[in-house]
Structure 1
Amino acid sequence: MPSGGEATPLSALLGGFRLSGQTWCYADLGPGSGFSVPSGPAVVFHAVLHGTVRLTCPGSGTAELGAGEAAAVLTGEAHALRLTPDSAAPTLEFLREERGADVPPAFAFETAGGVVARVLSGRLSVELPAGASRTGLPSLLRIGAAAEAPWAPFVRSGALARAGIGPGGCALLTCLAETIIVATLRAEPNTRQFFAAERPDPIRQALQLIAGNPSANWTVERLARSVGMGRSNFAAHFTAGVGRAPMEVVAEARMEQAAQLLRNGNLKIAEISELSGYGSEAAFSRRFTRYFGTSPSQMREAARARSEAPTPPPAWRPLLSGRRTKDAATLRRLGAPGAPPKG
C-alpha cells in the first residue's frame, strides 16, 4: 500500500479482494425449519431464491432477507438462517469445509409439508489486498434488492439460479458472488477503513468475548476494561460500530444460547435461566418472550412436537405457487437442481 499518507486507489483495494472455491448448494426449507453454518476461515454467501428467511449473526443481529436479496458473512462467524425465531437450525455439514463441487447439490430441511423458501449458499476462500485484515471487514454484508443497485441484475433476475445449472455451475457462481460483493463494498462509504492494515480491533475483541461466554457477568465497564478502553469511549465506539449498545448484544447472545438449550436439551427452564446469566427465572422468561415473541415453555413444546411428529408420506409440491414461469420450465427440461419440481 502507498506510504506517506497517500491513499490507495479504491480499485486497487477492491481488485485485491478475491474469492475462490466451488462449495455451493441449495437449501430447501419447510415450515418452521432452518439451518446453521459453523464458524471458519471462509466467506459464506447466501442468496434467497424464494420465500423469506431470518439470518442471525452474533454481533450483527438479525437480517430479514426476501427473494432477490443476499448477504455475505465476511469474517467467518457462525450464523443461522431460520424461517421463524424459534425454528430449529441444524448444521448444514456440506458448508463446513471445501467440497470442490461442480453442480450445486440440494439439501432439504423439514420439507414434508412443502417448500416455503429456497436459499443458494456458497462457502468460499478469500484473498485480501496486501496488508489488509479480515478483522476490519463487517461481519455481515447485506446485499439488498434495490433496482438501482449495480448488482441488482444478478440477484433479482434469477441469474444466480440459472448460473448453477449444468457443469461448471459452481465456478460461475463464485465469479458472480465476487462481483456482487465487490460492487456492494464499492458502494459502502467505509470501504477504505474495512481494508485498513491489520491492527487489534477492540470492538471485535469484545464481540468475541461475548460470543465465547454469553452468560458471564458482563457490564459495559468490564467489557471496556477487557479490551483496554475506557468505559465511555468503548460504549460510544461499540454502539457506532455495531449499531447497538454493548448490553443489547450481550442480551441477544444469551437469548440465542438459551433457545439452543431449550430446543436441544432437557434442562429445566430455571437451569437454563441461570446458565444464560439470569438470576431470576421470571426476568429471563420476560426477556425471552420479548425477544422471540414466544415463551421458553412454548418454544420447548414446539421443538418437542416437531421431533415427535410422525413423518407423512412424501408428496410432490411445487416450489413456487401460482403460474409457472418460462424460466422454471426451462430449468426442469435441463434437469437442474435449482428447478422447482413439476406439479
Structure 2
Amino acid sequence: MDGHTDVISDVLETMHFTTQLFGRFELGAPWAIRVPQKETSSFYVLARGSLRLKVEGLDTPILLSAGDVVLVPHGAAHVLDDGSRRTLAPRDLIPSEQLRGSVLTPRRLGGEGPASTLVVGCFRFSAGVRSPLFTAFPPAIHLPAHEPGVAPWLAATVQLIVAESSAPGPGSAIVLGRLADVLLVQALRTRAAATGPDEAAGLRALADPQIGAALGLMHGRLAEPWTVERLAAAVGQSRSGFAARFHALVGEPPLQYLARWRMTKAAQWLRETDDSLPEIAERVGYVSAVAFNKAFKRWHGVGPGGFRRARGEVRAEEAALSTPSP
C-alpha cells in the first residue's frame, strides 16, 4: 500500500455530517422563498419545473431546471423564486419555516400557476470541525442535470430521490436520508473531478494530480515527519513550485494544512476513543507528549486532557437527558 487515502471520505467521516430532509413541495407560481443565513448547508433537488436562486455573495442568479441539484454549503442567505418577475412582491414570499414538512406528505405552497416540484433538505456538520478543502467552497455549487461533467450516478441518485419522494412508503424517511448522504458525496466527487478555473479552490486541489496526491499522502500517513521538501519529492515537483501551487489551490501552506488536520484528527480520537494521550500524540506525528499538548492547546484553546474531560461531561449530560425518568 502506498499510503494514499481517500481524502473526501476522511474529511466527511471526521466532520460527522448528518442529513435532514425537510420534505417535498409543489410550488405554484407566483412564489418566492427567502431563506436567512444559517449554520447548516442547504440542498435542493428540483424534480420538475424551473426556479431561480439568488445567493448572497453571488452577483449572478442561478437558474435551475428539472433534475438539477444545488448546494448552499456555508448556509448563506438566499432567495428562491419562480423566476417570472424582476421584483418580488412581498405577498408572494413564503416564510422559510414552511419548508419544513414531511416526505410522506408533500405540500403545495404559493399560487395557482404552473408548479415546480422541489425536494428540500440540509447537511449539518459537527461543531468546531472545519477543513480548508470545504471552507474554500463558493457560496453555491450548482450541478445541472445535463452538464457533460455531471456523472451518470449523480443523475441516478437524483432520480431515486425524486421517485422515492413521489411515492413514499414504509421506511421512506430512512431511504431518502441515505440517498441524501450519497448525493453529497457524489456532488463533491463530481466537482472534485472538474478542473475548470471556476471550481472552488479545495475541489481544484483534489483534482490536481500532484496536489491531490500530496493530500492523499498527508491524510493517509498522518504520523510521517513530512516536510515541504519530502512532499514535493513524493509527487515529483520542486519545493518552491509545490509550495506555491499547494497554497494557491488549498488556501494555506502545506505544513499549516497538515498541522490543522492533525489537530482535527486528534480532537476526533479524544472524543470518540479511550486511547491514551501518548498514543494519540504518536498517531498524529508527535514523539513528545509535551509538544503535542502545546500544539493542541494552540489550535483548540485547551489542552487535550481538558478537551477530553469537557467532551465527557457533555456526553454525560446528553445521556442523562435521554434517560427516561422513573
Please report the TM-score for the alignment, with normalisation by the length of structure 1: 0.46
Quick check: which one's helix share is greater? 2
Q: Using structure 2 for the length normalisation, give the TM-score.
A: 0.48
Larger C-alpha radius of gyration, 1 or 2? Answer: 2
